[in-house]
Structure 1
Amino acid sequence: MKKVTSLLFAATLAAAGLVGCSSGNETKSETPTDSSSNTEVKPETTTDSTSGDKVEIKLWLDYDNYAEALEEAIEAKYSNIDIVWEHVESTQSRTKLELDGPAGVGPDIFLQPHDTMAQSIQGNILLPLGSSLSENVKSRFIESAVETAKSGDQYYGVPISTESIALFYNKTLLEENGFDVATTFEEVKAQGDVFNNAAENKFIMRFEAGNAYTMQFFLTANGYQLFGADHTDPNAINFDSEEAIAGLEYFKSMQEYLPVPYADLTTDTVEVEFGKGTVPYVIVGPWAISEIKNTADFEWGITTIPTINGVQPLTFSGNIIASISAYTQHPDEARQVLEYMISDEGLEILYKVRGAIPALQDPTVIDGLSDDAYVMGVLEQAQFSEPMPSIPEMASFWAPAETMYRSVWEGLATPQEAATKAMSDYEQALLLVQ
């Protein structure tokens, strides 16, 4: 029975697209070099890295409790390693490394979303994993996730976790108000007509209105396809398409039920309000599970995003990739630390402390993962998700898209005006990187 559960769990991840797909536009990188010295980075060796003096390995991580737990575990296991860490958001690590790496103040290991891998590989800021670590990754992690960290015949990182947003609901609060869990946004709005009280800061739902990653589902519910049907055409960003504008119109209609400035709807504030038990629904991702478990004193669950006009929206999904910096001065020890991070023991820390979902072929090696009702709720939505495009032009998508959502939410532009400006902003962004 355990084996069947494992196979079903892995199949759900792969078939649903919760793990990303290779873009097909891979660029084979040259051997990474330290651009500050123009010296080729040391290849993988067979030196016994458990002997000798302590070596300091710096990690850039975006969750402090995870960093602290990882530091303690690694230092307890390896007497030759001294872990230091710095809080750096995974979405900012690539651009920060491009500056800090040559200056000699960057990390040995860092995290980044899979959609930035193409740029990192092209920029020669990543060290190849080497044959031993690559074989470990290929044998244990889901193939489609591993492919997002590959270029040519080299692997440049490990997909330590995979994620998609979903609907988190407060079962206790819903029952107190006589509501069922909404399966449509029409139901959400009807419940909001009864529940909302602006004077008491009570709103039926909260989400990050200014976050293009989270808000993508409003557009896909109306048929929007980013970069075309296969998500690889940089000329088909389609912000000003009928489908995108219709999605923005519906997005704008939700402002009546959540009349809060986008600047006050951050990841932290959305999660905090849910943890306090004041809001029936929030739209967040599995990164919030651990904190909510620690704070919530009510019954809650996770399920699919409600339908919009009868259509099940598609959310973005993504992998978080752990990579070794090409600027590391300690490649053997960095590989040793990364090997621990992706071991069963290391991934159990990630799951239990961070609440992240490892992209393993066999999830039963992590105690409790395949029996976790909250993880299963995320995987329900995973059936209706698609990987963030991984073409280099994806980096030019985020800023125009977020400006578009924010200007519509604040009433600074109509959906048509905001979409037209987003098209112009995207085209200008492409010119800057050519």
Structure 2
Amino acid sequence: MKMRRMLSIVIAIVMVIVIAACGSGNNNEPSETTNTPPANNSNATVDEQENEAVVPTEPELEKDAKLIVWDNGGSDETWAKAVAEEFTKKYNIPVEVQVVSQGDAPTKLQTDGPAGLGADVFLAPHDKIGGLVASGLVLENFFADEYKVNFMEASITGTSMNGVLYGYPTAIDTYALFYNKDLVKNVPATMDDLIAQSKGFTDKAKEKYGFMMQVNDFFFLYGFLGGYDGYVFGDKNTNKDDIGLNNEGAVKAAQFMQKLHKEVLPLNSGDINYALKETLFINNNLMFDINGPWAVAALQEGKVNFGVAPLPKLDNGKAPTSFSGIRAYYVNSYTKYPEAAAAYARFATSEEMLMKKFEISGQLPPRISLMENETIKGNEIIKGFLDQAAVSVPMPNIPEMVPVWEAMGNAFAVIWDDNADPKTVLDKAVNQIKEAISLSNQ
């Protein structure tokens, strides 16, 4: 255990030097423990890990352990308290669940962690991991090999930094294709098919549209860019010096967007928004929409007959690689009970507990085995999102991603509205991003 913690601290110190912009470094070493390392499957073969008959050895936990867990409110809190109760029954370790939103937890931990006031286990979005690691606030995942076998690749990549896995993924979000079953006869397998169906329905004068998406939001646009082999940063979004937002694939994606504008969506980018899409869909005036799980409830309340499917393939035969967001538990590096905290995070992300999370909150479980669960597999809406999540790319979690959002959103708005030359506009956007990154690193 001591070796793991020392390694994490060394990594953290290096990260502080390398990514100073993420947050102030902290070289204070967390309190040590003399407990032996957890007995886990980190050295097991893939075949052993995939064999359900193999029972993982239980880790040796601190005898005096008591844990604090930070999680969101609402259904997340309900689930977290259920997990805590089951964990206490199994390990006789008391767990207190406190409501601290995933967005606030990383900032709160900056002060509470070193002071010994922070949660032992906390929830955070994956794109905050850069700052957490740079500030020395998280320990690595104790069971990394086990997780790499059992969880979606996107969830592992998203919660890792410099090849080291830190997160214990609890949920994955991505967007997919919503379609109105009363208007769509056949779910399109390709974007060409979607365009063909949309043409026959679109009538701007009657406010009827075959297809819509938020065309100036890079979160949604990336699916096409990635499908055409564009990318944000090289080396799986870890190399800030290699930007692929103006390469040949990115240009093809921009040209494809111009085709959508010309053939099926004759509105300016500023006229397309979330509320408009929702209203049109509920009123049966929209056939196809690209949206996420957050849109489901309103459509169900509106009694819309709809389905969800993976994004149709592009003309190069590849699937659009949508951005995904990963929620995960992390272990506070200042915890007095690292073994118990790691065991809790592992327990919470077990197949049983993630299935319970799905039942309580409807959040998509990133555990591979649950994709074959009959309850999930039989739910057309959930299955559509999970199938898309399987080819998704986690949003980059390095701090240099910050200037990308605005620069690329503005670039695609110009490409869409003005039919501007994609290469020229994307080159300008990339130069803006490079300048912003250079300034932030000074």
TM-score (norm 2): 0.68
- For 1:17, the equivalent position in structure 2 comes to none
* Counterparts of 2:78 and 2:197, CA distance in 1: 41
Amino acid aligned to 1:254 = L
User: What's the offset of the Cα at 1:259?
Assistant: 2.0
Amino acid aligned to 2:225 = L
- For 1:168, the equivalent position in structure 2 comes to 178
- For 2:132, the equivalent position in structure 1 comes to 120
- What pairs with 1:145-160 in structure 2 (closer than 5 Å)? 145-146=155-156, 149-150=159-160, 155-160=165-170
2:378 maps to 1:363: no
Alignment counterpart, residue 40 of structure 1, candidates 8, 14, 29: 29
2:267 maps to 1:259: yes
Pair 1:336–1:171, CA change in 2 (3 A): same
1:81–1:333 Cα contact (<8 Å) kept: no
* Counterparts of 2:312 and 2:392, CA distance in 1: 13
- Superposed CA RMSD: 4.5
User: What's the offset of the Cα at 1:122?
Assistant: 2.9
User: What's the offset of the Cα at 1:281?
Assistant: 1.2
- What pairs with 1:3-402 in structure 2 (closer than 5 Å)? 28-30=11-13, 39-42=28-31, 46-48=61-63, 57-59=69-71, 61=72, 65-74=74-83, 76-77=85-86, 78=88, 80-89=94-103, 109-113=122-126, 117-129=129-141, 131=142, 137=147, 140-141=150-151, 145-146=155-156, 149-150=159-160, 155-174=165-184, 179-198=185-204, 201-227=207-233, 233-255=239-261, 257=265, 259=267, 261-262=269-270, 265-266=273-274, 270=277, 274=281, 277-285=284-292, 287-288=293-294, 291=297, 294-295=300-301, 297-309=303-315, 311-318=317-324, 319-326=326-333, 335=342, 338-363=345-370, 368-381=375-388, 385-386=392-393, 393-402=400-409
- For 2:55, the equivalent position in structure 1 comes to none
User: For 1:245-299, what per-residue CA distance to the aligned partner results, in whole angstroms no more than 9, with x for missing partners?
Assistant: 3322331343451626458524x765675466542212134x3476368436344
User: For 1:133-160, what per-residue CA distance to the aligned partner results, in whole angstroms no more than 9, with x for missing partners?
Assistant: 6687467546785465456896421122
| Aligned positions, number | 391
**Secondary structure at the counterpart of residue 29 of structure 1:** helix
**Secondary structure at the counterpart of residue 430 of structure 1:** helix
Pair 1:219–1:154, CA change in 2 (3 A): closer
Pair 1:30–1:242, CA change in 2 (3 A): closer
**Secondary structure at the counterpart of residue 110 of structure 1:** strand
* Counterparts of 1:82 and 1:238, CA distance in 2: 45
* Counterparts of 1:192 and 1:367, CA distance in 2: 33
Structure 1: where are the runs of 5+ without partners?
A: 1-26
Which of the pair has the greater relative contact order for Cα pairs under 8 Å at 6+ separation? 1
Structure 2: where are the runs of 5+ without partners?
A: 1-9, 17-22, 36-60
User: What's the offset of the Cα at 1:430?
Assistant: 2.0
User: What's the offset of the Cα at 1:366?
Assistant: 5.6
* Counterparts of 2:395 and 2:194, CA distance in 1: 27
* Counterparts of 2:424 and 2:296, CA distance in 1: 40
* Counterparts of 1:273 and 1:71, CA distance in 2: 37
Pair 1:101–1:332, CA change in 2 (3 A): same
User: For 1:334-358, what per-residue CA distance to the aligned partner results, in whole angstroms no more than 9, with x for missing partners?
Assistant: 5565344313343123323443332
* Counterparts of 1:140 and 1:243, CA distance in 2: 32
User: What's the offset of the Cα at 1:420?
Assistant: 2.7
Pair 1:38–1:184, CA change in 2 (3 A): closer
TM-score (norm 1): 0.69
User: What's the offset of the Cα at 1:109?
Assistant: 0.7
